[in-house]
Chain A
Amino acid sequence: NAGVMQNPRHLVRRRGQEARLRCSPMKGHSHVYWYRQLPEEGLKFMVYLQKENIIDESGMPKERFSAEFPKEGPSILRIQQVVRGDSAAYFCASHLPATGNTIYFGEGSWLTVV
């Protein structure tokens, strides 16, 4: 997972605030995934993006969650009006489709909602 940069590593938000999580993929990688891992649960797919395009957002909650991957800069996962149930680890994974289906994870962002 070297090279996939996520920040912040840890984030504490009060209920109702906004959380913004950032991800820069490995050098040369054009696509990113976002996954969420609740305590004692598996990794759940949220969204798959390439620059300036959302490829698959079937795992995103219908409200409060959004994601983007602009032409310049990192991918951002945005959670508005956070609730306690949003507390989880959010992992970004980097992908270059031309090299196959392997994805490489960043260190993760741990969100705690108080």
Chain B
Amino acid sequence: QKEVEQNSGPLSVPEGAIASLNCTYSDRGSQSFFWYRQYSGKSPELIMFIYSNGDKEDGRFTAQLNKASQYVSLLIRDSQPSDSATYLCAVNWGGNTPLVFGKGTRLSVIA
């Protein structure tokens, strides 16, 4: 059974702080990892993806992957109130398998 687990939150951080969002997954055969942001009543939008162990940075966002620990995280530096949303972790196991999503972590950035 392929599962993706996230803490539902809410995670509250003050404006300007670093927000750290975590995700674990159940199967070592996973190949690619994605973070999506979803505002209330809207569709998910892709933030970034990561395939290899280590860190990947894109602007204020950094994705961190540790395949041995089956763990992927998203760091948001200099958090802004506009970052307040639900963050969805998704994992792909290759081939024609679909992306499996976690339930999401709700982030609240307090001004």
Contacts and interface: CB of A to CB of B under 8 A. Distances in A.
A1 B103 contact: no
Contact of A41 (B31, B46, B94, B103): B103
B98 A1 contact: no
B98 A45 contact: yes
A107 B34 CA distance: 19
A1 B32 contact: no
B75 interface: no
A101 B43 contact: no
A103 B99 contact: yes
Interface string A19-61: 0000000000000010100000111110010000001100100
B88 interface: yes
B44 A102 contact: no
B27 to A, nearest CB: 15
Contact of A42 (B34, B92, B96, B102): B102
Contacts of A41: 103
Interface string A71-114: 00000000000000000000101000100111111111000000
A91 B49 contact: no
A97 B32 CA distance: 13
Interface of A: 1, 33, 35, 41-45, 48, 55-56, 59, 91, 93, 97, 100-108
Interface of B: 31-32, 34, 36, 42-46, 49, 88, 90, 92, 94, 96-104
